[in-house]
Structure formats: structure tokens, C-alpha cells
Amino acid sequence: MIRIAGLTRRQWAALALVLGLAVAFLLPMVVTDYRSFQFTLVIIYAIALMGLNLLTGYNGQISIGHGAFYAIGAYTAAIMMDRWEIAYYWTLPAAGVVCLVSGFLFGLPALRLEGLYLALATFALAVATPQILKYFDSWTGGVQGIVLFKPDPPFGLPLSQDQWLYYFSLAIALVMFWAAWNLIHSRIGRAIVAIRDHPIAAQTMGINAPLYKSMTFGVSALYTGVAGALGAIVVQFVAPDSFSVFLSISFLVGAVVGGLASFTGAIYGGLFVVFIPNISEEISQAAPWAIYGAFLLVFMYVMPSGIAGFLRRIGAWIARRNAS
């Protein structure tokens, strides 16, 4: 067993997890409400990216249209809260189920084909989404969108609204990451990965590839949909033009830059998607996207496994040096 500073790899991972959780828990105590809001967005993106990661990273299916499922989740939450005055926490399971079903149904025809065609079909979905949202304006409020109100913390907790939403999102994210971890490390998870690594061999072993692919697409959409519902609650506003093709692209950017097929990668991706545009927006309105594009290319050439993969390599390098 290789030890670094007396601890094994597994112990280091556990330590990092505990430290990470502690930082995540203490964060809103020490930063401003606006920063708490930003970190809430990081958590929300991380959930969405986890969903995309299940599909693209573990199952090898490319989606350029996950913004559509984020939009469906967001509108499910917004319509339930605004029209039917349902409490915000009930909107999350509803958004999840709606996205699970719509993801499964959309995936069913497209997934029978190879990955390239799925990319094409999801791209078309992403481009068409704002128009579809505007069309059903009696539900979606058309171009003006729907304005929501921030929920107050329950049980008289001494927290600001932003702090409460941060903890609420954090709790949801922890449950969903834990569920994803169990899914990937189960028999079903192995089947999902097997389809990515060798589809024909996987089918020979008796895995029903189309069914598993559609299911993965559905579960992936569920994650993104829950993130969308959370996003609507936190941002307090939904409008068709915030769900353009660029939202879908930013998910893809986050997943790739953070690191595909990695749980921590989703978190790095979330940090990247929220904070990099803020930094680069000072240069120009169009700059964030140019920088996104440049990052995408650079990561493709230099670090195809993203930030998570890069850190893993550094860890392995330290371990090797210690061993010798």
C-alpha cells in the first residue's frame, strides 16, 4: 500500500471529502449574501453537470441539449409556484419526474442510433427550446417570463434567504451525488459504463443497450431538471431567452473542463461556469464565450480528462515520487 505522509490514498480521499464538506458548510457564514447566492449557483450547476456526466462521461452519449431539460425543470417549478401556489420544495420531485419522462421519451428514438446523431438531435432541441417556450405563452408567460419570490428559511432559523437557499441546495446536491455514486457503483452502473467502453461486447453480454441508454438519458435529464427547478427558485425568474443554445453549451463546457466521468469534476465544472464569465465579462460582453471556446479547445488538447483528471495525475505523481 502506497502511503503519502503516512496516509493511504483512500484515507486522503476521505480527508478531502470531510474538509470539502466542512468548507461547504461554513462558507455562507463567512461570505456576503451575494457570494452565497453565487455559490448556490455553483451547487446547482454541479447537480446539472452531474446529470450530464452520467450521460456523457459514464455512458458515452453526447448531449448538446441539456439546457432544454434545465428549462423544463425551471418552468415546472415556476408554473407550480406561480400558478398553483405550491411550496417550492414540492416542485423539485415534480420537476425531476417530468424531466425523467421527457428525457426517456426524447432519448428513445435518438439513442437507437450512434452518438453523433444524438448530438445532432439534442443540438436541434437546444436551438428550438426558446421558441417552444415562447409558443406556449399561456403557460410560460411568453417573452416576459415568470417572476418568483424567494422563500424564507423555515422553523425560524437565524439565516438570511440566500443562506437558507444555499443550505437547501447543498442538502439536495449531497443526496443526489450520493444517489449517483451508488448508481454508478452498482450492477446497473457497470452496465452503463460497459455500453460506453464497448457497446457491441456489452450487448453480447446480454445488456439491453437501447433501454439502458434511454434510462441513462432519463436519469441524466432528471438531475438537470432538478437543478433547473432549484435554479428557478434561486434566481427567482424564468424567461425563454435564458435557455438558449448557449446554456446547453455552457453545460458541455463545464462537464468537459471539470472532468468527465468524475464526481469532483462536476463541482470544478460548476465553479468554472459560474466564476469564469464574471471575471472575463469585464473585458467585453462577448468575451466570456470566446474564452469558453478557447478553454474548450485547450482542454481538448492538453487536459482531455479535465481539472479532476489533472488533479488525479498530480496525486499519482506525488505517490510515485514517495514510493521511489
By CB under 8 A, which span of 31-39, 88-96, 106-114, 181-189 interacts with another protein?
Answer: 106-114
In this structure, are residues 52 and 252 in contact, taking their beta carbons and an 8 Å threshold? Answer: yes
Cβ-based nearer residue to another protein, 96 or 240: 240
Task: State which amino acid sits at residue 145.
Answer: G
By CB under 8 A, which span of 76-84, 146-154, 205-213, 298-306 interacts with another protein?
Answer: 298-306
Q: How many CB atoms lie within 10 A of CB 117?
A: 14
By CB under 8 A, which span of 18-26, 70-78, 85-93, 122-130 interacts with another protein?
Answer: 122-130
CB of 59 to another protein, least distance (A): 11
Contacts of 196 (CB under 8 A, 6+ apart): 58, 59, 60
> In this structure, what DSSP letter does residue 160 have?
-
CB of 76 to another protein, least distance (A): 20
Based on the shown chain and the rule CB under 8 A, indicate whether residue 125 belongs to the binding site for another protein. yes
CB of 15 to another protein, least distance (A): 32
CB of 210 to another protein, least distance (A): 12
Beta bridge partners of 146: 238
Based on the shown chain and the rule CB under 8 A, indicate whether residue 113 belongs to the binding site for another protein. yes
At residue 262, the 3 state secondary structure works out as coil
Which position among 31, 296, 303, 319 is part of the footprint of another protein (CB under 8 A)?
296
Sites for another protein among residues 163-222 (CB under 8 A): 200
Closest by CA to 67, choosing from 303, 187, 227, is: 227
Cβ-based nearer residue to another protein, 172 or 256: 256
Based on the shown chain and the rule CB under 8 A, indicate whether residue 124 belongs to the binding site for another protein. yes
Sites for another protein among residues 33-62 (CB under 8 A): 56, 60, 62
At residue 124, the 3 state secondary structure works out as helix
Number of shown-chain residues binding another protein (CB under 8 A) = 46
Closest by CA to 176, choosing from 263, 268, 89, is: 263
Cell of 144: 416576459
Long-range contacts, 269-276 (Cβ 8 Å, 24+): 269/45, 269/46, 269/49, 269/306, 269/307, 270/41, 270/42, 270/43, 270/44, 270/45, 270/46, 270/49, 271/42, 272/307, 273/45, 273/49, 274/38, 274/41, 274/42, 274/45, 275/38, 275/42
Site string for another protein, 257-276 (x = CB under 8 A): ---x----------------
Cβ-based nearer residue to another protein, 169 or 242: 242
Distance CA 82, CA 156 (A): 24
Cβ-based nearer residue to another protein, 43 or 247: 247
At residue 157, the 3 state secondary structure works out as coil
CB of 64 to another protein, least distance (A): 7
Cβ-based nearer residue to another protein, 12 or 117: 117
CB of 207 to another protein, least distance (A): 16
Cell of 9: 490514498
Site residues for another protein per CB under 8 A = 56, 60, 62, 64, 109-110, 112-117, 119-121, 123-125, 127-128, 131-132, 134-135, 200, 245-246, 249, 252, 256, 260, 284-290, 292-294, 296-297, 300-301, 304
